[in-house]
Amino acid sequence: MDNPAYEWRNHVKTILNIFAVLIILAGGVWFLQGINILPGSFMTGQTEWAIYGGIAIFVGGGILFFVNRQKTPSSKK
């Protein structure tokens, strides 16, 4: 499509998808370090980092969900 608004929307959607995946990956690392599975950092074994990681995973998943949801056509009466 040659519609600039459509192209802009697709670029923003792609950027938000990449951002969300990066948040999920970082959250996964924080979570695993927080529960002492992934060693080698000051975060290893620190419960608060497991909590931060869980929050990051949840937020990243929420971003992915809202960015990629299918918009249903509204019924007009």
Digitized pLDDT (tens) for each residue of the chain, 77 residues in all: 577 877 888 999 999 999 999 999 999 999 999 999 988 888 888 999 999 999 999 999 999 999 999 777 776 65
| Distance (Å) of CA 45 to CA 26, 41, 48, 51, 77 | 16, 9, 9, 12, 58
pLDDT at 77: 57
pLDDT value of residue 23: 98
pLDDT attached to residue 7: 86
Residue 62: per-residue pLDDT: 97
